[in-house]
Amino acid sequence: MTDAGKRKVRAVKFHIHTYGCQMNVRDSEAVAAMLLAAGHERADGEDDADLVIVNSCTVRQKAEEKAVGKCGNLCAAKRERRQIVGLMGCAVKRLGADVFRRLPSLDFAVGPRRFGMIPKIVADLAADGWPKCGCGANRLELPDEDEIPEGLSAHPDVSAGAVDAFKSYVTVLLGCDNRCSYCIVPDVRGHEYSRPAREVIAEVGCLAARGVKEVCLLGQSVLRYGLRNKAWEDGGGEPFPRLLAALDGIDGLDRIRFTSAHPKGCTDELVRVFRECRKVCRHIHLPVQSGSDRVLREMGRHYTRAEYLAAVAKLRAFDPEFAVTTDVIVGYPGETEEDFEATRSLMDEAGFDNSFIFKYSPRPGTRAAALPDDVPPPEKERRNQALLADQERRGLMRNKMLVGTVREVLVEGPSLRNSARWSGRDAGNRIVVFEPTPSVRAGELVDVRVTEAHPQILVGEVA
Ligand code: SAM
Ligand code: SF4
């Protein structure tokens, strides 16, 4: 039992704001689960909370400013609201003790692989009298590069009907050893560590027993699972495809997804698993970053344009509907018009179902930060808008191919835009909107025949 568990701790109401990627969403869920297990409660919102935590991102400067700015606003109001304010996640590791110069009344700052300490910190602060004044306790917890967090498999019990009651993230690979030239993730999230396969299988088994229908396995370069450290007790086969095949056998589970992938991991074995394992969704998030071989080399991505396109072709060879989505960076140092046009043409050749476009942002300490950030902001914006417009056209074209087909949809509930309609996602992670029938329930699979295609959504009727 932890110290927090042994001591009688005053129960507090907590609220967590999460910025950034799915990894952060998952870490926030684990923190919520640990706080609930320690006897604390969720607040209805930040106004109603005794404790507010901001989970931060630092992958781009703007993302960091948003999270730190939010925390600053909370710190300014904490005295009046009698709140404790904490910051967790990637920005904490980047800023280190400097975070308290920026936010002097912050109570605690906890780096990414140490979120398991939060219940203990809360217990310590509560034991000291809570909160005495608007001054910050300034407690800092910075993880080591190889630290294995506590609470990795903690999941909160969520209310029936909520989307997170039937969809869960599961972290399988921590950190990243790729060191792409522009990326700060390896500095803040540390070295790769693959969780033992038996631990992951047990966690997914527990989730399925609780009614979870879909899991998404997380790792920065998730196909590297089991390559730096052993994940399976015996040798036998490629570790990640083998994990997918093992999870495919879990009763009650309907779908398995994963993110993010790298072309080097698109092996014949992975393709075989996609083909043979019914629950493994035919969708891959395969960040390309650029379509120019020169830029890819400078970024240190370890593939060429041709190798990338070959990986996509291999996945679509057995199923032309296989969904491929990507991340792209525009305005990398030295990116010429010709490089940009190469990205544009690659995106058309690959036929991406969806893409996320980012304007290059220099990150301190990365190799690219030493290069001049020489694509002017208006030009980055122009390239960004051009790729977004291309994606609208391409998304519509890809979706039109699906009109008349029947999609198996995991129902999420009333659509955000029009609550008379419901929405869910097909195996390709495409949003499908439809008129619900009386028997349709959130968290169930339903067949929907597609009647209309739009760039970002499919519309259909229950088949
Ligand atoms: N690990 C994933 C991969 O490389 O496949 C991506 C992780 S990163 C959190 C998400 C995306 O942010 C990257 O794919 C990249 O497009 C973008 N990104 C990372 N560093 C960036 C930077 N310095 N400026 C702009 N975008 C960046
Ligand atoms: Fe960053 Fe590259 Fe690792 Fe992705 S693979 S997290 S872009 S270093």
Task: Identify whether the C-beta of residue 240 lies closer than 8 Å to the C-beta of residue 173.
Answer: no
Asked whether the predicted pLDDT for residue 5 surpasses 50, the reply is: no
DSSP conformation letters of 188-253: HH-S-EEPPHHHHHHHHHHHHHTT--EEEEE-TTGGGTTTSS--SSS--S-HHHHHHHHHHT-TT-
Please state the atom number of ligand 2 nearest to the C-alpha of residue 179: 8
d(CA 149, CA 172): 12
Read off the pLDDT band of 126 (50, 70, 90): confident
CA of 209 to the centre of ligand 1 (A): 34
Read off the pLDDT band of 136 (50, 70, 90): confident
Distance of CA 389 to the CA centre of its chain: 25
Terminal Cα distance for the chain, rounded: 52
CA dihedral 389, 393, 394, 400 (to 10 degrees): 150
Read off the pLDDT band of 133 (50, 70, 90): low
Minimal-distance CA residue to ligand 2 atom 2: 180
Read off the pLDDT band of 158 (50, 70, 90): confident
d(CA 200, CA 181): 31
Higher per-residue confidence, 165 vs 134: 165
Instruction: Write out pLDDT tens, residues 362-415.
Output: 999 999 999 999 999 999 999 999 999 999 999 999 999 999 999 999 999 998
Query: Cα separations (Å) of 61 from 176, 363, 364, 366?
Result: 20, 7, 10, 13
Pocket test for ligand 1, best of 59, 185, 303 (most atoms within 8 A of CB): 59
d(CA 279, CA 161): 22
Minimal-distance CA residue to ligand 1 atom 12: 59
Minimal-distance CA residue to ligand 1 atom 11: 327
- Give the mean model confidence (pLDDT) for residues 159-171: 85
Instruction: Write out pLDDT tens, residues 249-299.
Output: 999 999 999 999 999 999 999 999 999 999 999 999 999 999 999 999 999
Instruction: Say what the pTM is.
Output: 0.96
Query: With pLDDT > 70 as the criterion, what percentage of the chain qualifies?
Result: 97
d(CA 33, CA 328): 34
Token pair of 334, please? Answer: 């030295």
CA of 180 to the centre of ligand 2 (A): 6
CA of 183 to the centre of ligand 1 (A): 6
Please state the atom number of ligand 1 nearest to the C-alpha of residue 176: 1
Is there an atom of ligand 1 within 6 Å of 260 CB?
yes
Asked whether the predicted pLDDT for residue 444 surpasses 90, the reply is: yes
Read off the pLDDT band of 127 (50, 70, 90): confident
CA of 385 to the centre of ligand 1 (A): 18
Instruction: Write out pLDDT tens, residues 176-199.
Output: 999 999 999 999 999 999 999 999
CA of 54 to the centre of ligand 1 (A): 21
CA of 201 to the centre of ligand 1 (A): 28
Asked whether the predicted pLDDT for residue 2 surpasses 90, the reply is: no
Is there an atom of ligand 1 within 6 Å of 60 CB?
yes
Read off the pLDDT band of 134 (50, 70, 90): low
Pocket test for ligand 2, best of 221, 328, 360 (most atoms within 8 A of CB): 221
Is there an atom of ligand 1 within 6 Å of 261 CB?
no
Token pair of 255, please? Answer: 């779908």
Mean pLDDT of the chain: 95
CA of 183 to the centre of ligand 2 (A): 6
Which ligand is closest in space to the CA of residue 60?
1
Read off the pLDDT band of 132 (50, 70, 90): low
